[in-house]
A and B are shown apart, each in its own frame.
Chain A
Amino acid sequence: SQTIHQWPATLVQPVGSPLSLECTVEGTSNPNLYWYRQAAGRGLQLLFYSVGIGQISSEVPQNLSASRPQDRQFILSSKKLLLSDSGFYLCAYLPEDRSSYNEQFFGPGTRLTVL
C-alpha cells in the first residue's frame, strides 16, 4: 500500500534560522511530489512541485527552496526563515498512473512557527 510521511510534525524556529522539512513516499514509483503551505487565514498554496529526481518547479518566489534527491524523497528548505514563513506545510503525491483524475494524497503536515 502507498503511504506518505512527513517530519517533523511541529517545529518552532527563530527568525533567521535554517529549515529542513522532509517528505517520503512508500509503495509507489515515480510519483509527482508537491509542497503546499497554508498560512493563517489563507487557503492552500502550492509552493513547489516535482515530476522527477532533481526536477523542481517553483510556483511562488520566496526564500524557500525544494530538492528531490531520490525518487520518493522531497525536501523543503530555507537558509534563513522569516516570520511570514509560519504556517502549516503539507507534502502530497500524485501516483504515476493518475487513475483518479489527478487526485493527490497528502502527508500529515508540519506546523511551523517562526518567532
Chain B
Amino acid sequence: ILNVEQSPQSLHVQEGDSTNFTCSFPSSNFYALHWYRWETAKSPEALFVMTLNGDEKKKGRISATLNTKEGYSYLYIKGSQPEDSATYLCASPVYGGSQGNLIFGKGTKLSVKP
C-alpha cells in the first residue's frame, strides 16, 4: 500500500507572504506525482504532473520541485494572494495498478488573509 503524506495540514499566511508545503511518498517504484488545487465547493484542478527526479515546474507564482530518491515534493507559492486560498492535494499512482488509481494525501489547507 502506497502512503502519501502531506504537511502541514493547514497553513495561515498574510497576503504577500511566500509559503511552501511538503508531499512525501515512498521513493521505490516511483512513477509520477500529481499536484491539485482544490477550492471549496469546486472541482480539484490539476496544477502539475511531476515525473523526473530534479523536476521543477512553474505556473505563475506557484512552483513545485521533485526529489524521487528521497521521496518528497515541495510546492511553493510566492507572494500569496487571497485567491490562493485552497486545499492543495498531492497524489501518486498506485504502483503496478492497471486501473489508473491515485493515492491522495490529506491535503494542505492554505488560508491567505488580506
Contacts and interface: CB of A to CB of B under 8 A. Distances in A.
Contacts of A106: 43-44
Closest 6 CB pairs of A and B: A43-B106, A101-B32, A106-B43, A94-B100, A44-B104, A102-B93
Interface residues of B, number: 20
A107 interface: yes
B49 interface: yes
Contacts of B44: 44, 90, 106
Interface of A: 4, 32, 34, 36, 42-44, 46, 49, 51, 57, 90, 94, 98, 100-109, 111
B38 to A, nearest CB: 8
A94 B107 CA distance: 21
Nearest to A32: B100
A108 B40 CA distance: 10
Contacts of A57: 99
Contact of A109 (B43, B46, B89, B106): B43
Nearest to B93: A102
B102 interface: yes
Nearest to A55: B99
Mostly, the B contact residues are loop
B109 to A, nearest CB: 10
Nearest to B92: A102
B51 interface: yes
Contacts of B41: 109, 111
Given A106-B43, A108-B43, A49 B101 contact: yes
B53 to A, nearest CB: 14
Most buried by B among A32, A106, A111: A106
B100 A90 contact: no
A106 B31 CA distance: 21
Interface string B76-114: 000000000000010001000001111011110000000
